[in-house]
Amino acid sequence: MTRSGEEPAIRFDVLTLFPGYFDGPLREALLARAVERGVVEVRVHDIREHTTDPHRTVDDYAFGGGPGMVMKPEPVFDAVEALGAGPKRVIALSPAGRRFDQRLARELATEPWIVLLCGRYEGLDERVVEGLPAEEVSIGDFVLAGGEAAALAVLEAVSRLVPGVVGNEESLVVESFETPHLLDHPHYTRPRSFRGMEVPEVLLSGDHGRIAAWQREAAREKTRRNRPDLLPEEDPGR
């Protein structure tokens, strides 16, 4: 259940060695509002609670050698199995995983139950991925100290696509990555003039056709400048 006592549209269970990492983000802004409204439920679990030795050991040396430690499979399996039966999609955050993007976020937003596994050290024992099974997902081509920051990115990106989370759902369809091959266009607000920088005159014209045309071209220009890889190969402006 959520704080509102209603069944949520989507449930997240986050498995981590550092549950306190999520305290602040879950009490602020969009995620906090989504939980308060009863649309999203988030439960955070300490993997160490599923160890059986006095030292609460969660890692060990890697077979075959190499630097760093590997997270043991037993406590991770036990933590997932303790969540109970039911159809759940298990995601292991890993730099070796499938790239997380807006398409995957939309796909996950239709799931009723998602489990996010946060690795640490050199990562999870491969038998976690094979045996649960779990899908490996990466938020980018870089390495973090653990999966917690990546889990937060997935949590927020998916939650905001769940109906009832974002107030103006129309705004979701004009954002970056929602329009094929284009980033979002630039946005401006008051004042009209700031330190010599002016709001483009077309945005003040009230002509919706001209404004839409300007936004399309501005989005293309921003995409060419910042993410040319998104544009089709045949695009002459690429």
Q: Which amino acid is at 63?
A: F
pLDDT of residue 172: 58
Domain that holds residue 183: 175-230
Kindly give the parts of the chain with pLDDT less than 50: 1
pLDDT of residue 225: 97
pLDDT of residue 78: 98
Distances (CA, A) of 11 to 2, 119, 150, 159, 227: 9, 20, 17, 10, 33
Q: Which of 159, 188, 215 is the last residue of a domain?
A: 159
Q: Do 62 and 69 contact (CB within 8 A), yes or no?
A: yes
Dist CA 216 CA 219 (whole Å) = 5
pLDDT of residue 6: 74
Q: Give the tens place of pLDDT for each residue, 18-31.
A: 999 999 999 999 99
pLDDT of residue 1: 41
- Domain of 148, CATH number, reads 3.40.1280.10
- Domain of 215, CATH number, reads 1.10.1270.20
Mark whether 182 and 151 lie in a shared domain. no
Mark whether 15 and 93 lie in a shared domain. yes
pLDDT of residue 82: 98
Mark whether 75 and 109 lie in a shared domain. yes
- Determine, yes or no, domain membership for 214: yes
- Determine, yes or no, domain membership for 236: no
Mark whether 153 and 179 lie in a shared domain. no
- Determine, yes or no, domain membership for 235: no
pLDDT of residue 8: 94
pLDDT of residue 238: 55
Residue 205 CB neighbours (<10 A): 12
Mark whether 124 and 203 lie in a shared domain. no
- Determine, yes or no, domain membership for 91: yes
Distances (CA, A) of 84 to 48, 50, 119, 125, 196: 18, 14, 21, 22, 60
Mark whether 34 and 139 lie in a shared domain. yes
Mark whether 128 and 184 lie in a shared domain. no
Q: Give the tens place of pLDDT for each residue, 50-100.
A: 999 999 999 999 999 989 999 999 999 999 999 999 999 999 999 999 999
pLDDT of residue 180: 72
| Angle separating helix axes 148-159 and 29-36, nearest 10 degrees | 60
Dist CA 28 CA 21 (whole Å) = 13
- Determine, yes or no, domain membership for 45: yes
Mark whether 110 and 21 lie in a shared domain. yes
Count: domains in the chain: 2
The C-alpha angle with vertex 189 and arms to 188 and 192, in degrees rounded to 5, equals: 95
Burial 124-145 (b: 16+ CB within 10 A, else e): bbeebbeebebbbbbbeeeeee
Mark whether 70 and 102 lie in a shared domain. yes
